Amino acid sequence: MDSSKAEKKSTRITFKSILSGKAIAENLQGKHLLPIAVIFFMMIFYIWNRYEGQRQMTKIAKLNKELRELRYRAVTQSSEVMGQSRQSQLKLRLNAMGIDLIESQTPPITLE
Alpha carbon distance 24, 14 (integer Å): 11
Helical ranges in 21-106 per DSSP H: 22-27, 33-84, 87-97
Give the per-residue pLDDT at 61.
Answer: 98
Residue 2 located in a structural domain: no
What amino acid is encoded at 107 in this protein? P
Per-residue pLDDT tens over the stretch 36-95: 889 999 999 999 999 999 999 999 999 999 999 999 999 999 998 888 888 888 888 888
Flag whether 38 is in a domain: yes
- Rounded CA-CA distance 103/97 in Å is 16
Quote the domain boundaries for residue 79. 29-95
CA distance 109 to 65: 48
Q: Is 51 part of any domain?
A: yes
Burial of 1 (0-12, 13-18, 19+ CB in 10 A): exposed
**What is the tally of structural domains in the chain?**
1
In the prediction, which pLDDT does 48 show?
97
Q: What is the CA radius of gyration of the chain?
A: 40
Inside any domain, residue 6: no
* Contact in structure between 23 and 17 (CB atoms under 8 Å): yes
